Amino acid sequence: MRSTTPNDVHAIEGAVILDVREPGELEQARIEGTLDIPLGELVERAGELPSDTTVYVLCHVGGRSAQAVQFLESRGVDAVNIDGGIVAWHRAGLPVTLGGAS
């Protein structure tokens, strides 16, 4: 399984980022423009992903996204795990929309 850093993904123009976190997690912090498919729905919704480009997969800290990458690779999708998930993305100072209940 390949992995990359949030900074490297952010530097890719037009990168396709799949966020596999749950809706409640997305309400707390999200990256604008991601494809949002919770890990538990990925098997039935995998057809929504582009098949002609690399898909960069993100979760909270990297565990669920690693599972998603393994599944997607088994289906022939070029998928790459984003190390550290949204936590590392935020800590790197990259754009994140924060919100949700306070």
Residue ranges of the domains in the chain? 3-98
Position 19 scores a pLDDT of 98
Distinct helix (H) and strand (E) counts, the chain: 5, 7
pLDDT in tens, 37-65: 999 999 999 999 998 999 999 999 999 99
CATH architecture of 3-98: 3-Layer(aba) Sandwich (3.40)
Q: How confident is the model at residue 101 (pLDDT cuts 50, 70, 90)?
A: very low
In the set 49, 57, 59, 68, the catalytic residue is 59
Q: Is 85 a catalytic residue?
A: no
Backbone angles phi, psi at 6, to 5 degrees: -55, -40
What residue has token string 């960069």? 56
Q: What pTM does this model have?
A: 0.94
Mean pLDDT of the chain: 95
